[in-house]
Amino acid sequence: MSRGSIYAVGDIHGCYEKLRRLMEKVWKQFEPDYDTLIFLGDYIDRGPDSFSVVKYLTNLKKQFPGIIFLKGNHEEMFGQYLLGLERHAYMVNGGQHTLESYFRHNPGGEVQTIPPEHLHFYSSLSLYYESEDYIFVHAGLKDRIPLEKQKSEDLLWIRKRFIRSDFDYGKKVVFGHTPFSEPLVQPNKIGIDTGAVYGNRLTCVKLPETEFIQS
């Protein structure tokens, strides 16, 4: 249970420079002994440097073991790709950019060569995180279903049905996945995917203040 503020970061999608600039602002406020830092998934694909994003995040985890990393649908697709499944679906959803990023950082090696540290990162991602006042998830929730009984497919992929819902989930839901030009703030939810990979800013929300920090 968090004693201080909670900082939640939206979809990065390989935008390493925006991540770095955003975190420079976050560190000016973040108190590691009291605050909680959460990343909502979609670290990879579509953007230019997924390798550097994951390297940065794995190094952060070493420095601050309490950081929470959630799984996004793109990490799910990448995992399927590495198992030899749904490869076309992954490639048409921006996976080629991730493979090229790993290839650039591994000259002379195989495109599919992923460092063990990165593989561990992908395999250790959580589907959701619950604090005293908030539920953090990549995509959203289905109405009238307890959190522990939500299907992973919905936690990772749901969009309009959740966005349009005014259902009281018991706690405010903080999510990414669906991009908005500005953060979405509703009585039951806060959406912080602001389309960094599409030329917009990368967003972090500080709670309970609902203060937005952007790259």
Convert the pLDDT of each residue in 68-87 to its tens digit: 999 999 999 999 999 999 99
Q: What is the CATH code of the structural domain delimited by 6-214?
A: 3.60.21.10
Would you tell me how many other CB atoms lie within 10 Å of the CB of residue 15? 27
Cα–Cα dist 146/116, whole Å: 35
Q: Nearest to residue 21, comparing CAs of 196, 185, 211?
A: 196
Question: Which tokens hold the place of 170?
Answer: 């018991």
Residue pair 161/93 in contact by the 8 Å Cβ criterion:
no
Examine the pLDDT at 23 and tell me if it is beyond 50.
yes
C-alpha distances out from residue 38 to 33, 87, 136, 157, Å: 15, 29, 8, 19
Residue ranges covered by each domain of the chain: 6-214
- pTM to 2 decimals? 0.95
pLDDT 10s digits, 96-127: 999 999 988 876 655 457 999 999 999 999 99
